[in-house]
């Protein structure tokens, strides 16, 4: 079992024992999202190879799931704030803080900019048409360490110049 998945399960058990309802709720949601991703992976594998073995996600894939859940929460948070629902916005901020504990330290915007510039130079990208090449080069370096929306906007900004 990947170390990150094991840590999430241990933290879930500890939160249940400690009666930390918010933490339990968030970690159950995360566990369900991981399980869904594993089922998707199993389905794709069975389609390709005909095997029915149950694959487990690696830590990198789990980080992708966490980042996806955070993105959904950020989108919902923006809607709650726009709708004036401060109570729900505060709840989502607390839940996001719990999920962020499982991500590696986030890169600063300046660090991401330098990585983007390095990737643009390495790929020889000239225009926005080359964005796919730059993102393919860049994403393994920033996965889980930076918001993909931020990375994408910085790449567009640099390629537009």
Q: How many residues does the chain have?
A: 161
Q: How far is CA 100 from the centre of its chain?
A: 9
pLDDT (0 to 100) of residue 114: 87
Question: What does pTM read for this prediction?
Answer: 0.76
Q: Convert the pLDDT of each residue in 15-71 to its tens digit.
A: 999 999 999 999 999 999 999 999 888 888 888 777 767 778 888 889 889 988 988
Long-range contacts, stretch 36-40, CB < 8 angstroms, 24+ apart: 37/61, 37/65
Segments making up each domain of the chain, as ranges: 3-100, 109-160
130: confidence class by pLDDT, cuts 50, 70, 90: confident
Q: In the prediction, which pLDDT does 1 show?
A: 60
pLDDT exceeds cutoff 90 at 129: no
- CATH for 109-160? 1.10.10.410
CATH-assigned architecture of domain 3-100:
Orthogonal Bundle (1.10)
Query: What gap in Å lies between CA 46 and CA 65, rounded to an integer?
Result: 21
How far apart are alpha carbons 67 and 71 in whole angstroms? 6
pLDDT of 136 reads 86
Q: What is the DSSP string of 100-147?
A: HTTSPPPPPHHHHHHHHHHHHHHHT--SGGGHHHHHHHHHHHHTTTS-
Return the pLDDT at 69: 92
């Amino acid at each position: 079992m990947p170390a990150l998945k094991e840590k999430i399960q241990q933290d879930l058990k500890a939160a249940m024992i400690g009666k930390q309802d918010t933490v339990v709720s968030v970690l159950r949601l995360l566990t369900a999202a991981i399980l869904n991703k594993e089922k998707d992976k199993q389905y794709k594998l069975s389609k390709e190879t005909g095997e029915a073995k149950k694959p487990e996600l690696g830590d990198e894939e789990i980080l992708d799931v966490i980042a996806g859940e955070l993105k959904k929460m950020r989108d919902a948070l923006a809607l709650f704030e726009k709708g004036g629902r401060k109570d729900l916005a505060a709840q989502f901020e607390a839940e996001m803080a719990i999920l962020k504990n499982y991500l590696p330290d986030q890169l600063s915007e300046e660090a991401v900019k330098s990585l983007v510039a390095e990737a643009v130079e390495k790929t020889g990208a000239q225009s926005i048409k080359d964005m796919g090449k730059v993102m393919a080069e860049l994403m393994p370096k920033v996965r889980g360490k930076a918001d993909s929306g931020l990375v994408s906007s910085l790449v567009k900004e640099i390629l537009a110049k």
